[in-house]
């Protein structure tokens, strides 16, 4: 778990070590799990992309698959920062990234009481404009894109899955 706000270095290292030890015990062999808590600031998108890249390279995944995953996850995070948080970097979202040799799963969690994923319509590709293609791109790249909404709390969890067995 990476924390970007308010933790002292030693306290943060202890928490990271403890979380890493737990994750090592819970994950499959030849897999990687990373959990991030990220401010709603676009400058952290490059960090997320680097972590995705390092994870995929460590497992020896092809560059094409890595590029697709980075694009889909970047679109998801950009949507949170732009639409849910309206660039308010005092708000945070969480990402859980799981890579194995066979598949990728990414969960992006955040609070947005006004978002209704069932209202997202497919874009009119005969009249393409800038913006509005993020969810379409994610659905085109990933094998599964699913939003879960807790209407009481406004918590949104976006789950994205990419299977590699059929992709390679």
Query: What residues does each domain of the chain span?
Result: 9-163
pLDDT tens string 110-166: 999 887 777 666 666 566 665 566 677 888 899 999 999 998 999 999 999 999 876
Which comes out higher in pLDDT, residue 20 or 65? 65
User: Is-contact 95 128, C-beta < 8 A?
Assistant: no
Instruction: Please give the share of the chain, as a percent, with pLDDT higher than 90.
Output: 52
Q: What is the pLDDT of residue 164?
A: 87
The sign one gets for the Cα dihedral 36, 38, 42, 43 is: negative
DSSP 33: E
Q: What is the pLDDT of residue 167?
A: 47
Flag whether pLDDT at 67 surpasses 50. yes
User: Is-contact 23 33, C-beta < 8 A?
Assistant: yes
Rounded to the nearest integer, the mean pLDDT of the chain is 81
The dotted CATH code for 9-163 is 3.30.565.10
Q: What is the pLDDT of residue 3?
A: 44
Q: How confident is the model at residue 1 (pLDDT cuts 50, 70, 90)?
A: very low
User: Is-contact 93 38, C-beta < 8 A?
Assistant: yes
Task: State if pTM tops 0.85.
Answer: no
Q: What is the pLDDT of residue 24?
A: 47
Flag whether pLDDT at 68 surpasses 60. yes
């Amino acid at each position: 778990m990476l924390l970007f706000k308010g933790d002292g270095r030693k306290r943060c290292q202890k928490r990271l070590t403890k979380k890493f030890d737990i994750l090592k015990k819970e994950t499959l062999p030849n897999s990687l799990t990373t959990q991030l808590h990220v401010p709603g600031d676009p400058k952290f998108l490059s960090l997320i992309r680097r972590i995705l890249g390092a994870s995929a390279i460590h497992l020896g995944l092809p560059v094409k698959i890595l590029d697709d995953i980075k694009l889909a996850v970047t679109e998801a995070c950009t949507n949170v920062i732009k639409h849910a948080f309206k660039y308010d970097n005092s708000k945070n979202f969480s990402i859980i990234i799981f890579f194995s040799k066979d598949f990728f799963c990414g969960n992006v969690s955040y609070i947005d009481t006004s978002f209704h994923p069932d209202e997202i319509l497919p874009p009119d590709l005969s009249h393409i404009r800038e913006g509005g293609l993020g969810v379409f791109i994610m659905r085109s790249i990933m094998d599964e894109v699913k939003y879960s909404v807790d209407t009481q709390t406004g918590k949104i969890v976006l789950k994205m899955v990419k299977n590699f067995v059929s992709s390679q």
